[in-house]
Chain A
Amino acid sequence: MIAKIICYALSGLDGIPVEVETDINRGVPSYDMVGLPDTAVKESKERVRSALKNSGLLFPMNRITINFAPADLKKEGASFDLAIAVSLLKASEQLIGADVADTVFLGELALNGDLRPISGLLPILISAKGHGFTRFIIPAANAKEARFLGGAEIYPAENLLGVVKHLVGLEPIEPLETAEFTAEKWQCSSADLKYVKGQPMARRAIEIAVAGGHNLLMVGPPGTGKTMLARCIPTIMPDLSFQEALEITKIHSVAGILGEEGIVTERPFRTPHHTATTVSMCGGGNRVVHPGEISLAHGGVLFLDELPEYKRSTLEALRQPLEDGKISVSRAGGTFTYPSRFMLCASMNPCPCGNYGSANLVCTCTPAEIRRYRRKISGPLLDRIDLQVEVDNISYDELTSGEKQEGSKEVKERVNMARKIQRNRFSEYKLNTNAEMGEREIEEFCNLDAESEKILRSAFERMKLSARARARIIKVSRTIADLDGCENIRPKHVFEAVSYRLEDKF
C-alpha cells in the first residue's frame, strides 16, 4: 500500500509543499530514501525507527521505500520526521480509518517519540494556508508561534503517540485557539528616553530620524551614552501592526531566534559586533541561505556601534539594501530575497582617541590620523545617512534648571502624529516616510519659499555641500515641519535641518 503525506520544506521565507510517499513491499527487509534528501533527512531513518518502537508502534520488517516529491528540490533539516513516521504508519496499515489527506505534518522526532519544535514554522504555515491547506499537526512547543495564524485548524501534539491517537480518533487534540495580536507595550524593554540624562540635541535628532524614517549617525566621545540613546529608538517607533509583526516573525522564525512569545511584539534592535562579516550582515550560508543581521533588523533598528571599525566591504554591502529595503542573496542553491527595511543608526568617535572637539579633554591625534579614521566611512554610505548629530560629554551641573526628561511615550505620540501626516501625503504613492522621497516627490511636496531657498544656497556655499546633501537637508526639513504640524517648510525648519549636518567633507 502506498501512503502520501504532505509536509513542507523552506526556501528562503517561502514554504514549498513536499509529498512524502511510502511504499511497503514484501522482500528482504530494507529501508531506502529517494528524492534528494540531505544528510539530516536521511538520518531521520534512525529517529523514526526508534520513535516508532518507543511509542509502542510497529516498525514494518519489509522492503520500505520512501520518496520525497518533487524530486528535484533538495530537502534539508529534520522537520520531515513526523511526516515520514505518519506515512510509514499509514502504509503499514496502523492508521486505519484516519483521514490524513489534507493535513500537513510538521515536526522533528526524538528517539522516545516526543515532538521537537522546528524553525521556520510560521512562514511554512502562511505559505501552506496560501496553498489551500487548513489542517496542520505541529509540535506543541511551536504552538505559541502558530496561534496567530487564524483561519486554520492547528493541532499541537506532544508526541508521536498523541498524533496517532488523535488521527484514529481515540484522543482528539484540541485545535489551537487563534490569538488576537496586540502590540504589547514594551513590557520587557527596559530602555526609555526618560532614563537618558541630558543630550537634548541627540534626543531631538532621534525623534526626527524616527518620525521621517531617516538614518542617523551619532558622533561623540566614548561613554557619552550613544548606545543607550540608540536603544531607546525602538521605544519611540510606532507600534507594530499585525502584518509587520508577521513579516518580522517569519524572518526570525527562519533564523530560529524567535523568543518565548512566538511572535515578535517589539521592533527588533540588532547590534552586530564590528567583527561581523559581510555574510553575517547580509545573509548567506552554504546551501540554505540564512537571513543576515540587516534582515533580522527588518522593521526595527540596526545599530552599528563604532562605525569605522567595521570592515569597509561589509559597510559597502549595506548600500543597496538601504536603498531597496530588501536583499537578494545568490548562492549555488538558489537566489533568496529577504526584506531588510531597517533604520540605520550608527555611532562613532570623532577621532581615534575620542576627545576631538571635547571641551575639557585634549585630543592627541594628528590631523592625518583623524582623516584616516573618518575616511574609513565612504562618501556614498554617508550620503545615505540624513542626520548627523554630536553627542557630547557636557556635565549637567552646567544646566541649572531641573529640566524634566520626557519619556518615550510622549515622544512616540509626536512621532505618530508626524507619521500620520506622511501617510496622508503619500497615500497615492508607494512611499511611507519622508526619507524615501525621490527628486520628483521633493519637487512636489517640499516647496521652499524664497527665503528658505536663499538659506540653502548660502549653506551650500559656506559648508561646501554636495547636491545630494541638499536633497537630504530638504527631506529632513520636511520632517521637522511635519513634527511642527506645518504644511509648508519654514526658514527655521531649514536652519534646524542644516544644524544636523556636520562637516560634509567628513
Chain B
Amino acid sequence: MASYTKEEQALIWLCGCTELEPRERVLLLRAAGSPVALFERFEFFSEKVLGSRAACDLAERRRSLDALLAEAEEKGYFALTVLSEGYPEALKASFPPLVLFGAGKRELLREELFCIVGSRVTPPWAVKLGTDIAARLSERFAVVTGLAEGGDLSAVRGALPRGKIVSVLPCGLDECYPAAHASVKEEIIRSGLLLSEYPFREKTRKYSFHARNRILAGLCKGVLVLSAGEKSGALITANTALEYGRDVFAVPYNPGIAQGIGCNELLKRGAYVCTGAQDIFDCYGIVPQEEKTVPLAPEEERLYGILREEGELHTAVLAERAGLPVYETAAVLSALELKGLVVKAGGNRYSCVK
C-alpha cells in the first residue's frame, strides 16, 4: 500500500471525502494551522469558520479516509498532495489544487510539459494539425490536454503512441466526460497519465471546466491553441497561461471562420504564430529529429500541387482542374490522405495539412 504521511492523509481526506468548496478548504486550513490539526478537530473549526456543525466525528472521518485509500489502492489511483514530493512545482505558483488524484504514469509530471487545447468544434484540418504537432512534440515534451472531442482529442491521439500524454479531467477519475471517450480514457491510463483534483465519483459542474483549465495552464511551459471561437474554454486556458507567464501559441485562421476568431485575437495580442511543431521547437531552441519526407507518385504530386494552391477543394473541382475522372481523383486523394498530407473536410472536400 502506498504510504502517505499523516499530513498528506489529512489533505487527502479533506479533498477526497468532503464536499466543501475549494475556498472553504483553504479557510479551514488557515484557521487550523495544519492539515492534521484540522483533521483531528474538524467539528470545532468547521463550526468556527463556516458556522455549521460537521455531522461526522473523528472515528467516522478515519473510516472514510481508510475506505478512500483502500479504494484508490484497488483501482490503482494515487494521490499527490501539495506537501508530497513530486508535486509539480509549476502548479504551486498560482492557486494550486491541494490534492491531485491520478492514474497511470506519474513520472510524466517530471518531464517538460506542453499543453495543446482546442474547442470541441475544430475543423478537420486543424484536428489533423493538432495530431501531427502532438506527435512531434511528444519526442521532447509530455503533452497536457483535456479529454473533450475536437482539439483535445486530436492532441491525445497524437501523443498517445509515445505514451507522453497527461489528460486532466474536469470530473472525478471514475467518471468520464464526455462519456463517449471512455475507451480513450482507458488508453490514457494504460500508457499515459490521467489527473483530477476531484473526489473519484464527482460529476462535472459548470465551474469545473474553468477550474480544470487553470491546472492545464499551470502545469505546462506553454500552451498551443488549435481553435477557439469568440468565447471558448481554450481561450480561458490561454488567458490563464498568460497570467501565469507561460508562452502562448496560436494557429492562424482565415478571417471569418468562427472557430478561429479566438486564435486570431490571441495572435493580435502577441501570441506566437504556430503552423507546425517546428515553431514550438524553435521557440525553445530545440533541434528536433529530421522529419521524414514521404515519396509521392507523379500523379499524387500533381494533384497535391493543385490542392495546395487552394488549400481546400471539392473533389469534382479538383478533378476538373487536373483533367482526371472524378473516381481516379478520389483514389489519388485517398492515397494522399493515407500519407497524411490531406484530410477530408466534409462534403467531398479535401484540405491540405502540410
Cβ–Cβ contact B346 & A356, under 8 A:
yes
Cβ–Cβ contact B330 & A499, under 8 A:
yes
Q: Does A239 contact B (CB under 8 A)?
A: no
Cβ–Cβ contact B338 & A458, under 8 A:
yes
Chain B count of residues within 8 A CB distance of the other chain: 32
User: Among the listed stretches A143-151, A366-374, A435-443, which one makes contact with chain B, having 4 or more residues with CB under 8 Å of it?
Assistant: A366-374
With A359-B349, A462-B338, A498-B334 as contacts: A394 and B314 at CB distance below 8 Å: yes
For the A-B complex with A201-B348, A495-B331, A498-B334 known, give 14 more contacts whose Cβ atoms are closer than 8 Å. A200-B319, A359-B314, A359-B349, A366-B120, A366-B121, A368-B180, A390-B347, A392-B348, A394-B314, A394-B317, A399-B317, A399-B320, A455-B338, A462-B340
Question: In angstroms, how far is the closest chain A Cβ from the Cβ of B176?
Answer: 13
Q: Does A275 contact B (CB under 8 A)?
A: no
A209-230 vs B, Cβ < 8 Å mask (1 yes, 0 no): 0000000000011000000000
A455 to B332, CA, bound (A): 12
Question: In angstroms, how far is the closest chain A Cβ from the Cβ of B184?
Answer: 11
With A357-B345, A390-B347 as contacts: A201 and B121 at CB distance below 8 Å: no
Chain A count of residues within 8 A CB distance of the other chain: 39
Q: Does A350 contact B (CB under 8 A)?
A: yes
Q: Could you tell me which residues of chain A, from 490 to 506, have a CB within 8 Å of some CB in chain B?
A: 491-493, 495-496, 498-499, 502
Query: Which of these, B148, B316, B334, contacts A499 with CB under 8 Å?
Result: B334
B contact residues vs A (CB 8 Å cutoff): 120-121, 148-150, 178, 180, 258, 314-317, 319-320, 326-328, 330-335, 337-338, 340, 344-349
A458 to B338, CA, bound (A): 7
Query: Which of these, B121, B180, B345, contacts A371 with CB under 8 Å?
Result: B180
A contact residues vs B (CB 8 Å cutoff): 198, 200-201, 204, 220-221, 350, 356-359, 362-363, 366-368, 371, 390, 392-394, 398-401, 403, 455, 458-459, 462, 480, 491-493, 495-496, 498-499, 502
Cβ–Cβ contact A367 & B326, under 8 A:
no
Which residue of chain A has its CB nearest to the CB of B346?
A357
Cβ–Cβ contact B178 & A495, under 8 A:
no
With A367-B121, A368-B178, A499-B333 as contacts: A204 and B326 at CB distance below 8 Å: yes
Query: Which of these, A366, A393, A394, A459, contacts B316 with CB under 8 Å?
Result: A394
* 8 pairs from A and B in contact (CB 8 Å cutoff): A200-B326, A350-B346, A392-B349, A455-B335, A459-B338, A495-B334, A496-B331, A499-B334
A502 to B332, CA, bound (A): 16
Q: How many A-B residue pairs have CB under 8 A?
A: 94
Question: In angstroms, how far is the closest chain A Cβ from the Cβ of B250?
Answer: 22
Cβ–Cβ contact A201 & B326, under 8 A:
yes
- Chain B residue contacts of A496, Cβ below 8 A: 327-328, 330-331, 334
A387 to B230, CA, bound (A): 38
Which residue of chain A has its CB nearest to the CB of B340?
A462
Question: In angstroms, how far is the closest chain A Cβ from the Cβ of B90?
Answer: 31
With A200-B326, A367-B121, A498-B338 as contacts: A393 and B347 at CB distance below 8 Å: yes
A321 to B348, CA, bound (A): 32
Which residue of chain A has its CB nearest to the CB of B297?
A491
Cβ–Cβ contact A367 & B348, under 8 A:
no
> Top 7 A-B pairs ranked by shortest CB distance?
A357-B346, A495-B331, A392-B347, A499-B334, A496-B331, A200-B326, A499-B330
Question: In angstroms, how far is the closest chain B Cβ from the Cβ of A365?
Answer: 9
- Chain A residue contacts of B346, Cβ below 8 A: 350, 356-358, 390
With A357-B346, A367-B150 as contacts: A198 and B338 at CB distance below 8 Å: no
Question: In angstroms, how far is the closest chain B Cβ from the Cβ of A348?
Answer: 14
A359 to B349, CA, bound (A): 8
Cβ–Cβ contact B316 & A198, under 8 A:
yes
Question: In angstroms, how far is the closest chain A Cβ from the Cβ of B343?
Answer: 10
- Chain A residue contacts of B315, Cβ below 8 A: 200-201
